[in-house]
Amino acid sequence: MATLSTRLFITASLGVVLFAGNGMAAEPADVEKFVNARIEIGEMMTNYFKGGESYGSGQRPSPEKMKEMGDDINAKLSALLSKRGLTVEEYRARSKDVFADEAAVNGYLAAHPDLKTRYDALPLGRMGGGGGSTGRGY
């Protein structure tokens, strides 16, 4: 039978191992990949919906048109992310964690003023879910 101190040590050790990933900083290569992807996605979505042209006459699209638009956006998104070696699923699953490391993201953007300008120009709305703490939903 283990002593109380042994059990506490084991519990504390397991806690450190199980939760170590939550406090770790994002890898610089991931920050670069995801920040650039977010910029490109945001610009793509902004252009896609610019002026409401994709909606037609200003009315809400039919369910068929909505499905068609969703399929078109997903195809464009897949193509854009594949250039960065990412899938839509991987981007959605990992982007929240990468963007949660605000110091790494801000550091990368500070080192690339041209990208920072593009990043800051993205709409703050949540266009379709997902995003990190910036409020940008892509």
C-alpha R_g of the chain: 20
Residues 63-114 pLDDT 10s: 898 899 899 999 999 999 999 999 999 999 999 999 999 999 999 999 999 9
* Residue written as token pair 């593009």: 118
pTM of the model: 0.69
Measured CA to CA, the distance from residue 23 to residue 34 in angstroms comes to 18
Measured CA to CA, the distance from residue 90 to residue 87 in angstroms comes to 5
Amino acid at 46: T
SS3 breakdown of the chain: % helix, strand, coil, rounded to 5?
Answer: 70, 0, 30
- Indicate the angle between helix axes 88-100 and 102-111, nearest 10 degrees: 90
